[in-house]
Structure 1
């Protein structure tokens, strides 16, 4: 994507899963096994492309409608707890994203997080890789606002906390659902297309896509912070 002049934005808001932490492969593997038990046999790639960015409760409704099976009332809770524990014990940051955050901090550019995931999961997952500690009061869960993505609520709230306006914010998203939320919020959205066809994100409204965090760093007009 073309170079984005520093004067064009004041803050960057990141999705969490698949953008800040490499959690989606963990969650997708667990969801694939659960869906198989409900009679939906899908590859991990199919699960990723169909359900990434969805709330677990939304997945449960879809599974029940497509299979005719009653999803156990406690399945959402049990599934989320299993994913939470797996992520908290083994997740790593997305390659290169710490360099992006370091560069934003070094240049005095605000940043925050807006995610579909629940607050406890966010604290544990982001805390494991040291990101939670760097963003006090700037991590927003869609479960604490009126409407989840693709509604804009979680991004609008994150912008308020970071202290920016939609026309001065850049959003980084890796799912069509999240891209649509960012567009609905009135911000420019850059699609992170490491594990998804760029056209999927462009079709949802992303202005550009990048395949790596190194390219995102350059697109934001930033350079890696020199290590003394």
Structure 2
């Protein structure tokens, strides 16, 4: 049995879907009358669950009626899935990196299970993870709550200290650290983002196998 498992975030870590998501969120929130541009997602809300973003916008700009609020997320998902079905690009270097990793692996995402499944199918990464797909919507806890990653580690049969988190977003890095797990931060924006103390920073997925080797050798 392997000594460690790997818990990957999905958007921005495995698949390069965040620019697409930012565009769809902009369309959705603008249709609801909220000011929102793609940069808002990328700089303020990256990795944050849709209900949390919507609640923040309502607090800042006014409350929606219940029917409009209830319809918002289904409308956003419909737009997003239609675009995803046209193809979802992988994060550069992830396919080559994963092939080198002899560990059990899971996807752990703030997104719904259907979105994770579509991302894996559209990107060609699904075979690496099988059924080990964990959604915050099913578990009932969204990052930065550490319980999502803790749930995934238990489901994989590993204690927290032997479940390595790989995540690009601050909410995911924080969740992994609070869960007591070794964390690798794939920092796509090193000029503007700082990797928290206690996490290991990489800037390209080609660095991932060596980073994991260093973490596992040091424990």
Q: TM-score of the superposition, structure 2-length normalised?
A: 0.86
Question: What is the match of residue 92 of structure 2?
Answer: 95
The RMSD of aligned alpha carbons is 2.1
What is the SS of the residue equivalent to 1:59?
helix
Q: How is 1:1-228 mapped onto 2 (pairs within 5 angstroms)?
A: 10-70=4-64, 72=68, 73-104=70-101, 108-195=102-189, 197-199=192-194, 201-202=195-196, 207-221=199-213
What is the SS of the residue equivalent to 1:94?
coil
CA distance in 2, matches of 1:134, 1:188: 21
What is the SS of the residue equivalent to 2:100?
helix
CA distance in 1, matches of 2:181, 2:165: 7
What is the SS of the residue equivalent to 2:119?
helix
Deviations 1:164-217 (A, max 9, x none): 211112111111111121112110111111146331x42xx5512111101223
CA distance in 2, matches of 1:38, 1:155: 32
Distance 1:158 1:30, change over 3 A: same
Point out where structure 1 has 5 or more consecutive residues left out of the alignment.
1-6, 223-228
Native 8 Å contact 2:173 2:199 kept in 1? no
CA distance in 2, matches of 1:43, 1:118: 23
How many residue pairs match? The answer is 209
Point out where structure 2 has 5 or more consecutive residues left out of the alignment.
215-219
Distance 1:116 1:206, change over 3 A: farther
